């Protein structure tokens, strides 16, 4: 069969078809497309990085790519090493010097970036509604019923930093680092570095996300307990006491994918979390969540370590 007898689709070069694939909205939409015809599968296999990176870059708010790459790095680096954590925090505070498609990320890392973008978008949508509710109280223009790109950047940056904080300090890594480097090792230096790398108002935006998520989790608990009498014995407590780990703080250290479902009204996850015993909240290493007292950590950092103007101070 000559080339002129082929269907029009099969006469297109693979890089052209790959460019068409890169215009889908989400990575999930690629599945049905590549199953519909082998030409789409071949184009994706030959141009995988360019297609997937183009899709993700359209979902990443402007200026937040370094924070998303830092999240990927937190899954890749050996975070039991304090030096690796310092290197990771430096990555979040500096712009990405090369294109995303040239970084050689794996499929799992692309999937993690896509999941983080989806979670951040879900939280951003609800957070935007709260911001619009507050604008009349702040004498904002009443005709302005949208969040501008600059506000979207600040919200998305704070959401990604929250997930990075969970990855670095809200899991077993704190205990692992203490076991690897002895009882004298303390995460306080790393935590101070996490906050002092950014200006006070950027850290305040992070705290706004934390307070917002805590309120949403508390509302989810209230809704469950109000409609399920079988859980009436559950005692839900929340306190700013840094030495007390409540069920709410436990959930807050689960990260964006879990919390985005709670924020979006996914009460099944919260109900399952309530229904099964979790042992002693004080004994589990996961309960050492740093998000509950991030504000006090930053305030206790020395003024000399607080930058007056940095990349993250915008």
- Which tens digit of pLDDT belongs to each residue from 35-73? 888 888 888 888 888 888 888 888 887 888 888 888 888
* Token pair of 134 as six digits: 């507050």
- Predicted confidence at residue 129, as pLDDT, reads 65
Q: Which residue has the tokens 């360019």?
A: 50
Choose the most confident range, by mean pLDDT, from 14-28, 119-133, 189-203, 234-248.
Answer: 14-28
Examine the pLDDT at 244 and tell me if it is beyond 50.
Answer: no
* Token pair of 284 as six digits: 């589990």
Q: pLDDT-derived band of residue 302, with 50, 70 and 90 as boundaries?
A: very low
C-beta neighbour count of 55 within 10 angstroms: 22
Examine the pLDDT at 280 and tell me if it is beyond 50.
Answer: no
Examine the pLDDT at 132 and tell me if it is beyond 80.
Answer: no
Buried-state track 107-123, b at ≥16 Cβ within 10 A, e below 16: eebbebbbebbbbbebb
d(CA 118, CA 106): 19
Listed in sequence order, the residues at least 6 apart from 313 whose beta carbon sits closer than 8 Å to its beta carbon are 198, 199, 201, 202, 307
d(CA 147, CA 164): 24
Q: Give the residue among 290, 225, 204, 215 at the shortest CA–CA distance from 248.
A: 215
d(CA 249, CA 293): 10
- Predicted confidence at residue 57, as pLDDT, reads 85
- Predicted confidence at residue 3, as pLDDT, reads 57
Q: pLDDT-derived band of residue 87, with 50, 70 and 90 as boundaries?
A: confident
- Predicted confidence at residue 188, as pLDDT, reads 73
Cα distances from 142 to residues 139, 174, 192, in angstroms, run: 8, 47, 40
- Predicted confidence at residue 138, as pLDDT, reads 46
* Token pair of 173 as six digits: 């890594």
- Predicted confidence at residue 254, as pLDDT, reads 76
- Predicted confidence at residue 158, as pLDDT, reads 87
Cα distances from 168 to residues 73, 74, 139, 216, in angstroms, run: 11, 7, 38, 23
- Which tens digit of pLDDT belongs to each residue from 145-198? 566 778 778 888 888 888 888 877 765 555 555 566 655 555 677 778 788 878
């Amino acid at each position: 069969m000559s080339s002129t007898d082929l269907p029009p689709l099969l006469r297109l070069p693979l890089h052209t078809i790959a460019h068409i694939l890169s215009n889908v909205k989400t990575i999930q939409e690629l599945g049905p497309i590549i199953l519909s015809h082998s030409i789409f599968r071949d184009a994706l296999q030959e141009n995988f990085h360019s297609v997937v990176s183009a899709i993700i870059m359209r979902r990443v708010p402007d200026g937040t790519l370094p924070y998303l790459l830092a999240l990927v790095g937190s899954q890749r680096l050996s975070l039991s090493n304090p030096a690796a954590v310092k290197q990771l925090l430096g990555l979040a505070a500096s712009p990405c010097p090369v294109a995303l498609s040239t970084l050689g990320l794996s499929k799992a890392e692309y999937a993690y970036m896509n999941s983080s973008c989806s979670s951040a978008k879900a939280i951003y949508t609800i957070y935007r509604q709260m911001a619009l509710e507050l604008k009349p109280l702040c004498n904002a223009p009443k005709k302005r019923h949208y969040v501008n790109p600059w506000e979207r950047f600040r919200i998305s940056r704070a959401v990604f930093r929250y997930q990075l904080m969970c990855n670095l300090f809200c899991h077993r890594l704190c205990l692992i680092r203490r076991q690897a480097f002895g009882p004298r090792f303390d995460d306080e230096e790393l935590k101070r570095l996490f906050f002092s790398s950014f200006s006070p108002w950027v850290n305040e935006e992070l705290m706004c996300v934390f307070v917002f998520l805590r309120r949403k989790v508390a509302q989810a608990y209230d809704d469950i307990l109000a409609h399920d009498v079988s859980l009436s014995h559950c005692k839900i407590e929340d306190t700013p006491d840094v030495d007390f780990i409540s069920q709410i703080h436990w959930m807050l250290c689960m990260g964006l994918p879990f919390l985005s479902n709670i924020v979006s009204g996914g009460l099944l996850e919260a109900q399952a979390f309530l229904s099964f015993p979790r042992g002693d909240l004080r004994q589990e290493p996961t309960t050492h969540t740093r998000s509950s007292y991030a504000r006090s950590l930053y305030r206790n950092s020395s003024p000399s370590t607080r930058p007056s103007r940095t990349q993250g101070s915008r």
